[in-house]
């Protein structure tokens, strides 16, 4: 029987909420101890990705694409740069491992939002990718000047979006060693 729900156990392990699932008996100091096989499995924490875009359709597309190609990630969505900054500047909120930021938004645009992020010591280390429909060289230059880690043209189809998420998450959350993504080298 494989349980549907898990809870966090000691030392970063997970165990099924149903205690009778996957039971293993182990001899310890002359007595027997029952424990879940899953208690021995390390928990791979979900990586947190923030998506900032004023378009609800993009939120829905990103949500669907992440479900298909990024199940190891947790996403949070913001409709404006100001909403993102309000969240980031609250010290009780967790910081993301990656921010995907729309360039053209009403109110505070992506460049202004990124400038605030890069001026805040607590936030400066967060990799931030600007997504844009703009093809203007000046937008690209301004994005890098503001501190973007990269600028990407917004995917125009769902398949392109899935590919973008797969490649981007693999690189920024698994391969690249950033201050928010340090692999244990021991």
**Encoding tokens for residue 103?**
């360039």
* Three-class SS state of 121: coil
The reported pLDDT for the residue numbered 133 is 85
Average pLDDT of the chain to the nearest whole number: 78
Whether this model's pTM surpasses 0.95:
no
Sequence ranges of the domains in the chain: 6-40, 47-175
Low-confidence ranges of the chain (pLDDT < 70): 1-45, 180-186
Q: pLDDT digits over 70-116, tens only?
A: 778 899 999 999 999 999 999 999 999 999 999 999 899 999 999 99
The reported pLDDT for the residue numbered 168 is 92
Q: Which CATH superfamily is domain 47-175 in?
A: Response regulator (3.40.50.2300)
**Encoding tokens for residue 13?**
């392990």
Beta strand 6-8 pairing with 14-16: antiparallel
The reported pLDDT for the residue numbered 181 is 55
Q: What distance in Å separates the CA atoms of residue 143 and residue 149, rounded to the nearest whole number? A: 9
Q: What distance in Å separates the CA atoms of residue 57 and residue 69, rounded to the nearest whole number? A: 18
C-alpha 105 chain-centroid distance: 21
């Amino acid at each position: 029987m494989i349980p549907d729900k898990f809870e966090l156990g000691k030392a970063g392990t997970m165990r099924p909420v149903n205690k009778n699932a996957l039971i293993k008996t182990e001899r310890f100091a002359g007595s027997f101890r029952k424990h879940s096989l899953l208690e021995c499995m390390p928990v791979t924490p979900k990586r947190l990705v923030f998506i900032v875009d004023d378009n609800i359709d993009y939120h829905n597309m990103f949500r669907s694409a992440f479900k298909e190609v990024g199940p190891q990630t947790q996403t949070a969505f913001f409709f404006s740069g100001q909403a993102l900054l309000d969240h980031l500047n609250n010290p009780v909120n967790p910081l993301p491992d990656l921010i995907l930021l729309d360039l053209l938004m009403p109110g505070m645009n992506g460049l202004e939002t990124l400038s605030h992020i890069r001026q805040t010591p607590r936030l400066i280390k967060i990799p931030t990718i600007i997504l844009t429909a703009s093809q203007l060289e000046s937008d690209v230059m301004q994005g890098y000047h503001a501190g973007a880690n990269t600028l990407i043209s917004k995917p125009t189809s769902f398949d392109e979006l899935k590919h973008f998420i797969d490649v981007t998450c693999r690189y920024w959350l698994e391969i690249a060693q950033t201050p928010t993504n340090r692999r244990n080298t021991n």
